[in-house]
Structure 1
Amino acid sequence: MATKTDGLSTEERAAVKQRAAELRAQAKAGKNREAGEKAIREAIAEMPDEDRELAEGIDRIVKEVAPHLMPKTWYGFPAYTDADGKVVVFFKAASKFTTRYATLGFEEAANLDDGDLWATSFALLKWTPEVEARIAEVIRKAGSDR
């Protein structure tokens, strides 16, 4: 069970510390695809089976439909950035904050604009052919040039 300390849960405090460590590691590695892929593989390997299956699928799809996006971790999550280093897409494991579903999320750099309203995240429960097709479609659009 999450406990609160100074307004942040134990899990949130751990995520902030993890992000600080990521920033230090990224400063040393620079924009290095190999280092980013290694960080993502390590993050995925630590996930429970249900989250790992989803994260591996998303990683594979990003490599297929948006290979120009750079892999990295972001608050311990697998994430993929544009040429400016801005996060486009990320995966948040359900186990990270003990939520009932994992999240496929998109940041402002994602090219998902669709009029005055569009989704910036999706709840994920399991990997199916339909889910895979929808994820590929959304990531392809998110990673495209504006």
Structure 2
Amino acid sequence: MTAKKKTTASYDGFSDEERAAMKDRAAELKKPARKGADGEADLLAKIAELGKADRAIAERLHAIIKENAPELTPRTYYGMPAWAKDGKVLCFYQPAEKFKTRYATFGFNDGAHLDDGTMFPTAFAITKLTAADEKRIAELMKQAVS
């Protein structure tokens, strides 16, 4: 049995974007412990860093969520805009540019009350937001926090 030659470059299974998201998350976990942490300011700062298309979607999502689920707390989650209920992230926006994907994603964690039978969507691809999309998101938010 021959030993495999180890190369100097190693692959740990994570992309640069994934490693950056993990670093963002580690920083977020430390932040609430600091006095006066402002989740909405952090969320708006992350949105401001986005490219034009992702920023436009994130701004509209934030407005829709504030209007239809005002009990949610804005924050960041792995460096992405997110909204929490009782301290737990309920939904989040993953910009397309963050992981160099074809479309952005608006997703819900398991605390969202979206159950509809035994199989139902918890994430949605977004390329742009139409009036019909905005109406659907408003409906989803009301259901998610119910």
**Long gaps (5+) in structure 1:** none
Q: TM-score, normalised by structure 2?
A: 0.90
Distance 1:25 1:89 in 2: 19
RMSD (Å) for aligned C-alpha atoms: 1.3
Counterpart of 2:52, as a letter, is D
Cα distance, 1:29 vs. partner? Answer: 4.1
Moved over 2 A (4+): none
Distance in 2 separating the partners of 1:128 and 1:98: 23
| Residue among 93, 100, 103 paired with 1:101 | 103
2:25 corresponds to 1:23 = no
Does the residue aligned with 1:78 lie in a helix, a strand or coil?
strand
How many residues end up aligned between the 2 structures?
A: 137
What secondary structure does 2:34 align onto?
helix
Q: Measure the CA separation in 2 of the matches of 1:114 and 1:27.
A: 37
When normalised by structure 1's length, the TM-score is 0.90
More helix by proportion, 1 or 2? 1
Q: Which has the larger radius of gyration?
A: 2
Gaps of 5+ in 2: 1-9
Does residue 10 (structure 1) correspond to residue 25 (structure 2)? The answer is no
Task: State the identity as a percent.
Answer: 50
The aligned residue for residue 116 of structure 1 is 118
Counterpart of 1:57, as a letter, is R
Shift of residue 55, structure 1, vs aligned partner: 0.4
Equivalent residue for 2:7? none
